[in-house]
Structure 1
Amino acid sequence: MQSTLTPVSAAISGEVHTITLRIGGMTCASCSARIERVLRKVAGVRDASVNLATEKATVRVLAGVTAAGLIAAVDKAGYSAADADADADAAAADASAATLVAGAGAAAPRWSLPAWWPVALAAVLSLPLAAPMLAALLGLQLEVPGMLQWALATPVQFWLGARFYRAGWGAVRAGAGNMDLLVALGTSAAYALSVYLLLSHAGGHAGSDAGSQAPHLYFESSAVVITLVLLGKWLEARAKFQAISAIRALQALRPDSALVRRGGVELTVALAQLRVGDLMVVRPGARVPADGVITEGSSALDEALLTGESVAVARTVGGRVAGGAVNGDGLLLVEASAVGADTMLAQIIKLVEDAQAGKAPIARLVDRVAAQFVPVVLVIAVVTLLGWGWRGDLSSGNWQQALLNAVAVLVIACPCALGLATPTAIMAGTGVAARYGILIKDAAALETAHAIDVVVFDKTGTLTVGKPVLLQLVVTDQSLDDAALLQAAWSVQQYSDHPLALAVVRACVERALAAPAPAQAAQALPGRGVSAQVGDAVLYLGTAALMAELGLTVGPAPAGLTVAWLARGGSAAGSDAGNQTGAAAQLLGMLAFGDAVRPGARLAVERLRALGIRSVMLTGDNAGAAAAVATAVGISDVHAGVLPAAKRAVIDALRAGGARVAMVGDGINDAPALAAADVGIAMAGGTDVAMHTAAITLMRAEPALVADAILIARRTWRKIGQNLGWAFVYNLVGIPLAAFGLLNPVLAAAAMAASSLCVVGNALLLRRWRPAALD
């Protein structure tokens, strides 16, 4: 699998490398956009992408740029940062995904939920302040002394709400704005107005009657707004915690230790101490600690969370196993072939993390909007204040109402939903796809895949199994039956490792035939076949040209199949087996081989057609073989005999015609076409080059998963559209309502929290998706 260049290797090669940072203190899309701008200003930074939902920054830098320099820039901007790459070893046991924190400050440990006590304490202190409002809804009259209101509201404002001041001040110092600044300004205005009215009133509390009517205080607005915002952020963090459940499930597959056999002694070692070549003892029911090859034993392994395959897979000596798979009821001895970050599980986790940390192109539009959003809101709030309170002194109802309306504008305009709309959908979509064996490497691929209208399939290894199998057996000598003919073919080439010979052996084993008869004087006839003496006869197995040399005439070969003819006696040029030169040859039969079509290939094409997507076959094989497979799977558009460079040309031609093209392949020769397509899709079991080049990898060699990959991309894109639509409509409607005095600050805070939860909750609905390939 592909690995990221380290700074050292980048310095040698002169290439760009990537540094990943965990960011603390972000609260809205304005924060992420601002950190991106700060990072891009650092010398040597090529690009920076900050994901609000995962709270990670992916920075592409030139050699010489260090994580420390980037962290310093983020700290100066008023946020906290930590080097996620430096924690790679610890992250093996403590996943590297979203930093879920309840406020500004250092990045929290992985997978921990934020503390709930600030929300609970704020609610306890705010409830008495909101009690009169709640009682009024029941027709009751309840008054709370003004000094008590002040005492209850102050710790909420300046202790529990201190995070808003810290982050807001950081934004002001950087000449920017964010959600925290809006909340700090709005609640501070309501709090200050209440203190002024309380101190200027002769009675000293809201319920007194000292010759003048007691003023209404707004401590409940400031305290309840802070409480609701804290509650909304905590619920939002919980929802994001659920969104990264796919990575946490994959991380949970790593056992803490491994049982190894060293020097004949079994001992338990920490997973980090496991070495390539170690013999791992995997007991029944245990997880395989790392990738390896079985050297002893046999069992069935559950690889569901790795490949999405719901049925346990049988493995025996020589079989490869993946770290994280659950052993069945057999005891296995496995030689470790990959450990740590080199295991398939680690690389799957890295792919999913990278996809969730990346940004879809549409998110760039959101970032541009968010960058201007807070300044525009501040202007609207000022206009609202002046528009409502243009006459009268501070104690008049006009200015009090004006200030409350301005506060409502500031609170409801927090752009949290806007910033969460895209990343939460991407997190949920890529996470559920990974759960079922569809690895989407980046957000851009997810965005592009939803619009695919042409899927180009490679033939060999993609639509077909990728190795020849015996498909037809025709006996021409009446003294033989199918089993005798097949056993004779096995005898003549029992020492060969040719793919067709191996196909014959597999066919014999499947039919439980007896071992082949001993062969002597076996020799290869280059380009024509093989010959050997079996018993008292010389057998020849090869092409029609070899049969012609023996003086035999053969019939037409089945279209699209590779044919080998079996003959007895006679002599062919270059063969002296058995010294039977001049003896009459006798045709025994024909064996026809082909690359078997994958069971789900036809269903895959039918499902794509139902989605309105055209399928095309692209192969370097001959036209006959290509036509046979195309007919079997239902593809009418076939390009055969195409070299790797020409494959790319076909892709380019389709794209030039206006099509959005996905290329599905598994071999090195598919890499140029995979790179040229709008979306490259690699099949499991293919070459590493293909998997590195492709944007989507299918962990099971099932063509039907291609349609599932496009379906999850479409559903995710639909969720992104829904979330962005909700976020924009919410602000377009909510801000005018607040400006015109139709929303008080408390309702505005509740609406703001509900907006973020709606966006995240809608994205989490993707977790219920299930591939049709499993139905």
Structure 2
Amino acid sequence: MAASAHPLRLAVTGMSCAGCAGAVERALTRLPGARDAAVNFALATAEVTLDPPATAQDVVAAVRDAGYGVATQVLRFDIGGMRCAGCSGAVEKALAAVPGVVSASVNLALATAEVEIADADPDPAPLAAAVAEAGFSAKLQSGEGASTADAAEAAARDAAAGRLLLLSAVLSAPFLVEMVAMAFGHGGLLPPWAQLALAIPVEFGAGWRFHVGAVKALRHGAANMDVLVSLGTSVAFFFSIYLWQAAPVGRPPHLYFEAAALIVTLVLFGKWLEERAKRGTTAAIRALMALRPEDALVERDGEQARVPVAEVAVGDVVIVKPGERVPVDGDVTDGATEADESLLTGESLPVEKQVGDRMAAGSINGSGLVRLSAARVGADTTLARIVALVSAAQGGKAPIQRLVDKVAAVFVPVVAGVAFLAFCAWLLAGAPLEHAVTAAVSVLVIACPCALGLATPAALVAGTGAAAKAGILIRDIETLERADAVDTVIFDKTGTLTEGRPQVTALHALADETGMLRLAAAAQAGSEHPLARAILAKAAGMALPPVSGFRAVGGAGITATVEGRRIVIGTADLLEREGVSAAPLAGLVREWQEKGRSVALVAAEGALLGAIGMTDTPRPESAAAVAALKARGLTPWMLSGDSAAATARIAGELGIVHFSGAARPEDKAHRVADLRAQGRVVAVIGDGVNDAPALAAADVGIAVGGGTDVAMETAGITLMRPDPRLVAATFDIAHATRRTIRQNLFWAFAYNVVGIPVAALGLLHPTLAGAAMAMSSVSVVSNALRLRSWRPKIAPLSQPRA
């Protein structure tokens, strides 16, 4: 495909004025190879024409260097026809060459490609065409997961591969009998014409895929496993014909038809086993994709009707019968039941659901009939977000894999060179032509880049899949690698190590206690904080006036307007900043805090009204979680926006030595930065909006399920149930996955380092080389498959310290 000038239209972010548009335009104009640059401030777009060798990556870098952003889009494709790392490298190269592509990443284990495009209106057609031109196929993913048609197509491919393998095995069996007979001194059972008759359908029937793949690869300047297999078996096949024709009359020649046939059969068998093993590594994501029902029972205008899930809208009333899967995320408006959420959260016990509780798409309804108000549908449901996170993590590429890809790109040409050198060396050493050809064929056949290409993605897919089944969602491979290096773990307190369901245990009003509680509850109606829920629970049954002007002050409290009065609820510092003196209640606040209570002061229109004391208790799992981290050599910390006394009480009960109270969100982020500056690798675990800065500042951010969306979006890892013991399990699966990756890469490289020289020295028969080649990829994937059996080692519950 000849390079030519091409237009590019970008969606630019961060422009706040016409001057910004001018700055972006100047940055593009200065870029070598860019011309006709024009920026539209109103539409927030930039259009530029690129002359080779300028690329979309250069344009994105220029805009970002100017201080602005580019809204890129990601398209995901299913790729057909890939059989080794050389294939995935060819697809990646073809995609990266398409105008507008910023980056392309191909996953051999999943047979997928992820393409980041800078164009504001991405067209998948050129991408699919580029893949087709490279000799493969590309199908744009719908984003809805595996469909029934996809499953049927995969089953048909499996059946065809099985039939082809069976045909090849039946035709190759006589060769195997011949080889065994020769080992016992009874050769010559198959005359040359019979060997040729058996080898032809294997070599050019069952093995035709390798020849076609080799031609496609070479035509596009690439080299893959097909080239090695095609070249090796073809040499063995045609050299056998030469030996047969050149043999003296009456002297039976030693032919290599059996090598050609058995190599094809063994490689097909190895690929068949490999595909089965790869399906095992992706079982977790396929199980998640299969959770969503196809339709939902919706009640509209008093009538019930089953409609496709895609047609359910937010606010619709969805009826879920006993035993059915929940089709959308929804809040229970009528009825009570229990839900099996094990495949979503890893929690094996059913969870009670009552009016007001949220039920997640994909969970199984228990014994009750419930009505839900649809809150999240389609791609916004918890299940869809889980699938997206797991898919993104599994489709990622580790830094070490990029090095492996570079090795794989030159691997086949190097192997072909080694085979030629072995052939020449044996001839120069005076060996017979037959021996030189046999050594060269053995080198070609034993070397396979498949194991190298599968080593990392197979382990990554299996590890993240096992983690997802346990309720641990890992966003990407970089997060997983950093998690394995963590040595310091910082917990938020409320809702993370404690139940997050504090109760009001003390009230003190300077005048009207009921009036103070009514105003405080009304003001807190817009807050998601556990302390706000405690105040609302205390005021249950009261008629609360509407609230307006609600604003959360991170780590300090809230301000709001109720009945025309400005209400301030929070710490003494917040009240002081709002011009309200907390001195009249300073002694009471100190007394309550010494008892471990959290204290919220209440003021209205600049006047102090009173104080509310609340008590939270540690989760039953927290002490065991802290002990598990210590046993792994990790240092636990606790940072909380609660008072120093309340924080110290919880820390003492859980055995946490390092803690700090009265910490604002920026204080938590600064503490994380300080620890990282000391050379520590820090993980932060939190569930609230005020934890987001610390989660973003940490090496690894871990959001606790049931927390806010902001925390989950900021974190690299999400725990789908609020069990702090999963934190230690997260580090366990990260370590196990990285260990498996290292093992796979070691064996993949060691296999070739040992096998190629042995073959070149003529110590390996081509058939045995074919068997070794077939088993190399299977062994790598099977090793990764062991991660499927991983289960979190959940420490038993222990009592908090007195």
TM class by smaller structure: 0.7 to 0.9
Paired residue secondary structure (1:772): coil
Q: Could you tell me how far 1:617 is from its partner in structure 2? A: 2.3
> Which residue matches 1:196?
242
> Which residue matches 1:170?
216
Does the CA contact (< 8 Å) of 1:259 and 1:269 recur in 2?
Answer: yes
> Which residue matches 1:333?
371
Which of 593, 597, 613 is residue 634 of structure 2 equivalent to?
Answer: 613
Does the CA contact (< 8 Å) of 2:169 and 2:265 recur in 1?
Answer: yes
Cα pair distance change 1:317/1:223, threshold 3 Å = same
Work out the CA distance in 1 between the residues paired with 2:774 and 2:105. 26
Does the CA contact (< 8 Å) of 2:447 and 2:756 recur in 1?
Answer: yes
Which has the higher mean CA deviation after the structures are superposed, 489-498 or 699-708?
A: 489-498
Q: Deviations over 1:398-435 (max 9, x none)?
A: 11111111111111111111111111110110001001
The within-5 A match list for 1:168-567 is 168-201=214-247, 210=249, 212-390=250-428, 398-470=432-504, 493=517, 497=521, 503=534, 545=584, 558-562=594-598
Does the CA contact (< 8 Å) of 2:592 and 2:599 recur in 1?
Answer: no
> Which residue matches 1:512?
none
One-letter amino acid of the counterpart of residue 86, structure 2: S
Work out the CA distance in 1 between the residues paired with 2:733 and 2:272. 28
> Which residue matches 1:582?
none
Q: Could you tell me how far 1:354 is from its partner in structure 2? A: 1.0
Q: Could you tell me how far 1:160 is from its partner in structure 2? A: 1.4
Paired residue secondary structure (1:294): strand
The within-5 A match list for 1:713-724 is 713-724=734-745
Does the CA contact (< 8 Å) of 1:525 and 1:574 recur in 2?
Answer: no
The within-5 A match list for 1:691-730 is 691-730=712-751
One-letter amino acid of the counterpart of residue 400, structure 1: E
One-letter amino acid of the counterpart of residue 359, structure 1: K
Work out the CA distance in 2 between the residues paired with 1:303 and 1:705. 16
Which of 74, 78, 84 is residue 18 of structure 1 equivalent to?
Answer: 74
Does the CA contact (< 8 Å) of 1:45 and 1:65 recur in 2?
Answer: no
Q: Deviations over 1:509-544 (max 9, x none)?
A: 9xxxxx99xxxxx99997799xxxxxxxxxxxxx99
Q: Could you tell me how far 1:561 is from its partner in structure 2? A: 1.7
Work out the CA distance in 2 between the residues paired with 1:524 and 1:227. 83
Work out the CA distance in 1 between the residues paired with 2:267 and 2:760. 20
One-letter amino acid of the counterpart of residue 624, structure 1: A
Q: Could you tell me how far 1:575 is from its partner in structure 2? A: 11
Does the CA contact (< 8 Å) of 1:306 and 1:324 recur in 2?
Answer: yes
Q: Could you tell me how far 1:82 is from its partner in structure 2? A: 1.8
Does the CA contact (< 8 Å) of 1:663 and 1:681 recur in 2?
Answer: yes
Q: Could you tell me how far 1:710 is from its partner in structure 2? A: 0.7
Cα pair distance change 1:377/1:111, threshold 3 Å = closer
The within-5 A match list for 1:58-97 is 58-63=114-119, 64-84=121-141, 87-89=142-144, 91=145, 93-94=147-148
Cα pair distance change 1:148/1:501, threshold 3 Å = closer
One-letter amino acid of the counterpart of residue 148, structure 1: A
Work out the CA distance in 1 between the residues paired with 2:589 and 2:495. 34
Q: Deviations over 1:387-406 (max 9, x none)?
A: 112377xxxx7111111111
Paired residue secondary structure (2:114): strand
Paired residue secondary structure (1:463): coil
Q: Deviations over 1:433-470 (max 9, x none)?
A: 00111001111211221111111222333223334324
Does the CA contact (< 8 Å) of 1:411 and 1:748 recur in 2?
Answer: yes
Cα pair distance change 1:727/1:708, threshold 3 Å = same
Paired residue secondary structure (1:464): coil
One-letter amino acid of the counterpart of residue 39, structure 1: L
Q: Could you tell me how far 1:574 is from its partner in structure 2? A: 8.3
> Which residue matches 2:193?
147
Cα pair distance change 1:681/1:94, threshold 3 Å = farther
Q: Could you tell me how far 1:171 is from its partner in structure 2? A: 1.8
Q: Deviations over 1:543-591 (max 9, x none)?
A: 993699xxx99967534423699xxxxxxx9899xxxxxxxxxxxxx98
Does the CA contact (< 8 Å) of 2:450 and 2:777 recur in 1?
Answer: yes
Paired residue secondary structure (1:460): coil
Q: Could you tell me how far 1:93 is from its partner in structure 2? A: 3.7
Work out the CA distance in 2 between the residues paired with 1:667 and 1:574. 30
Cα pair distance change 1:261/1:113, threshold 3 Å = farther
Q: Deviations over 1:358-384 (max 9, x none)?
A: 111121121122122112111110011
**Considering only aligned residues, what root-mean-square deviation do their CA atoms show, in Å?**
3.6
Paired residue secondary structure (2:702): strand
Work out the CA distance in 2 between the residues paired with 1:290 and 1:563. 39
- Indicate whether 1:749 and 2:770 are aligned: yes
Q: Could you tell me how far 1:324 is from its partner in structure 2? A: 1.2
Does the CA contact (< 8 Å) of 2:496 and 2:685 recur in 1?
Answer: yes
Paired residue secondary structure (1:466): coil
> Which residue matches 2:550?
none
Paired residue secondary structure (2:242): helix
Does the CA contact (< 8 Å) of 1:95 and 1:251 recur in 2?
Answer: no
> Which residue matches 1:31?
87
> Which residue matches 1:40?
96
TM-score by length of 1: 0.82
Q: Could you tell me how far 1:385 is from its partner in structure 2? A: 0.7
Does the CA contact (< 8 Å) of 1:95 and 1:247 recur in 2?
Answer: no
Q: Could you tell me how far 1:8 is from its partner in structure 2? A: 8.2
Q: Could you tell me how far 1:704 is from its partner in structure 2? A: 1.3
Q: Could you tell me how far 1:249 is from its partner in structure 2? A: 1.2
Q: Could you tell me how far 1:748 is from its partner in structure 2? A: 0.8
Work out the CA distance in 1 between the residues paired with 2:592 and 2:520. 26
One-letter amino acid of the counterpart of residue 733, structure 2: I
One-letter amino acid of the counterpart of residue 21, structure 1: F
Larger Rg: 1
Q: Could you tell me how far 1:504 is from its partner in structure 2? A: 7.2
- Sequence identity, in percent? 48
Cα pair distance change 1:268/1:774, threshold 3 Å = farther
Work out the CA distance in 1 between the residues paired with 2:669 and 2:566. 37
Does the CA contact (< 8 Å) of 2:518 and 2:539 recur in 1?
Answer: no
- Indicate whether 1:130 and 2:176 are aligned: yes
Work out the CA distance in 2 between the residues paired with 1:691 and 1:591. 30
Q: Could you tell me how far 1:153 is from its partner in structure 2? A: 0.8
Work out the CA distance in 2 between the residues paired with 1:547 and 1:649. 28
- Indicate whether 1:599 and 2:620 are aligned: yes
One-letter amino acid of the counterpart of residue 138, structure 2: A
Work out the CA distance in 2 between the residues paired with 1:111 and 1:646. 57
One-letter amino acid of the counterpart of residue 406, structure 1: A
Q: Could you tell me how far 1:277 is from its partner in structure 2? A: 2.5
Which of 648, 667, 677 is residue 627 of structure 1 equivalent to?
Answer: 648
Cα pair distance change 1:113/1:762, threshold 3 Å = farther
Does the CA contact (< 8 Å) of 1:114 and 1:237 recur in 2?
Answer: no
Q: Which runs of 5+ in 1 are unaligned?
A: 1-5, 101-106, 203-209, 475-487, 510-514, 517-521, 530-542, 566-572, 577-589
> Which residue matches 1:636?
657
Which of 676, 685, 689 is residue 706 of structure 2 equivalent to?
Answer: 685
Q: Deviations over 1:587-622 (max 9, x none)?
A: xxx985233322222222211111111122233333
> Which residue matches 1:56?
112
TM-score by length of 2: 0.79
